[in-house]
Amino acid sequence: MSGYDPDDERRSARAAASLIGLMLVALIVLMSVAPAANAGTPCETRTMTPARIADAARTARMVVEELDRHDAPVALVSRVGTDLSKHGLRYSHAGFALRDHADGRWTVVHLLNDCSSDGSGLYAQGLVNFFADDLIEQDARITWLPADMSERLASRLANLRHDPLYTPRYNLIARPGSARYQNSTAWVLEHIAATLAQARPTNERAQAYLLAKAHGFRPDTIHIAYSRRIVGGLFGGAHLVFTDHDIGTRLGGDYPVVTVRSILRWLDASDFAIRETEWRRGQRMPAPGPA
């Protein structure tokens, strides 16, 4: 007969607490409307349907259980919010799931655009809310970083009210390294890159991006034809600023942009992604697929 293992009991208690928390959050969200921010798309007031909340809660439960299996204070979590398949992209948005956050275990911290305006905000959300944001697919991907990078990153994310790597002027196609604008993926990249400075903390966005480049990061290229720019580019709205890029880029239509794919590709190529888990349409994948 096997002996008593207190670690197993603690793990079971944590899992039970996480599931109860997710159920409570799901009930709260069910009685509310969609949040007034999104990752670069228009916001509409709409009631959250029980089916959508159930799907989000199911995804959140899988992610929480996987996060609890590994001793890491933070992990990168990616989701599919907007259909970017015409650009060869799957994941449109990512945030950091923080284990020991003041708002609760495995709270996601991320940058969101304020309803297609030219501004953004930093948000702390539970995983149910994170996956209930009008997503086109309930796919999820978790990426873990090396222990030393994770510790430094978790420390940075503990207080978003004093974030030197945040610029509130939002541009969906922000030029990588831009000092005037930032999008949600650039914010993620720069926070990961800042953890590479071990001796002195990096508190400047330009320096963080240079660190990423020095360690091999290369942005993706998104083509936006001139005809589409005339009628509003990708989605239209004040959140799309073409003049952040030089005239040569605007004439050619090939815009360098920090995407989830470029971040995941960089982490993998640089051996900064020590572990990854992915679900597509509710099924756990044997190995992560294209991002």
- Among 266, 142, 155, residue whose Cα is nearest residue 213: 266
Q: What is the pLDDT of residues 26-36, one digit of tens each?
A: 444 443 334 44
Name the band, by pLDDT with cuts 50, 70 and 90, for residue 6: very low
pLDDT at 270: 96
Tell which wins on pLDDT, 211 or 8. 211
Q: What is the pLDDT of residues 260-275, one digit of tens each?
A: 999 999 999 999 999 9
Which tokens hold the place of 66? 């996987």
Q: Please check the confidence at residue 23 and state whether its pLDDT lies above 50.
A: no
Q: What is the pLDDT of residues 224-263, one digit of tens each?
A: 887 766 655 455 567 889 999 999 999 899 999 999 999 9
Q: Please check the confidence at residue 22 and state whether its pLDDT lies above 80.
A: no
- Tell me how far apart the alpha carbons of residues 174 and 189 are, in angstroms, rounded to a whole number: 13
pLDDT at 36: 47
Q: What is the pLDDT of residues 39-77, one digit of tens each?
A: 555 566 566 788 888 999 999 999 999 999 999 999 999
Mean pLDDT of the chain: 85
Share of the chain above pLDDT 70, in %: 79
Q: What is the pLDDT of residues 181-228, one digit of tens each?
A: 999 999 999 999 999 987 677 889 999 999 999 999 999 999 988 776
- Tell me how far apart the alpha carbons of residues 198 and 187 are, in angstroms, rounded to a whole number: 19
Q: Please check the confidence at residue 1 and state whether its pLDDT lies above 70.
A: no
The whole-number average pLDDT for the span 4-11 is 49
Rg for the chain (alpha carbons), in Å? 19
Q: What is the pLDDT of residues 65-119, one digit of tens each?
A: 999 999 999 999 999 988 898 888 999 999 999 999 999 999 999 999 987 678 9
The whole-number average pLDDT for the span 152-170 is 92
Which pTM does this prediction carry? Answer: 0.84
